[in-house]
Structure 1
Amino acid sequence: MARLKDVVFDCRHPASLARFWAAALDGYRIAPYDGTEPFDPEDDPTVLVEGGSPRLWFQLVPESKIVKNRVHLDVRCDDLDAESRRLTALGARVVEYVEDWIVMADPEGNEFCLQGP
């Protein structure tokens, strides 16, 4: 039986997008390296964010995002209005208000849905 391990984001700047998602999700953080190689997340073409399941990988790609995501994350929170303000302060933007959730986009334009309790 297969199990979900990672979600991988193609992006223009892995470090900044990894920092956004590490701050956005409760219990997640940028994963430390094992110390065997020099690490500067600003120059790294792949950055891992861990702390829950699934882990989130951010990998450098040369092209920009052009179209709507075919897959998106659903993020649940206790207070929809407060959380949308917090995520907006981190660099997200509101795309659309839909019934009892908000469609948002991360700093590189990847859509996700913010849902209340």
Structure 2
Amino acid sequence: MHKSRLACLVIDCEGTDAGTHEAFWAAALGREREADPIDPKYRDLTGPPGELRVLVQAVDHPSRVHLDIETDDIPAEVARLERLGATRLREIKGWVVMEAPSGHRFCVVKPQRPDFAENATVWND
């Protein structure tokens, strides 16, 4: 048994510094900019509690949007998604990049939001 759910909408912006795109996306989505980012590649856009997390990320590929699925058991969730037809592309820093049968990329990550335990879907492996 493991849990998972949609964790984050990630706005991939081609370049080396997410801060160059953060102001636009914060204003466009009505969110607050991150006060003291730890890493220039990632910028959280803060919204109301309980809403989906939105992250601006600097990437070395063309700009796009992808989803993160958070889980308490990454290998089990990856296996579940592979059974549904997804393909594992690579592992990066503890998360797994996958591709849906439709060609959309997404990541399987550790829990990101504080209410994960109470609100994630339980899967009986």
The normalised TM-score by structure 1 is: 0.41
The normalised TM-score by structure 2 is: 0.39
Q: Larger relative contact order (C-alpha < 8 A, sep ≥ 6)?
A: 2
Kindly indicate which of the two structures has a greater share of residues assigned to strand: 2
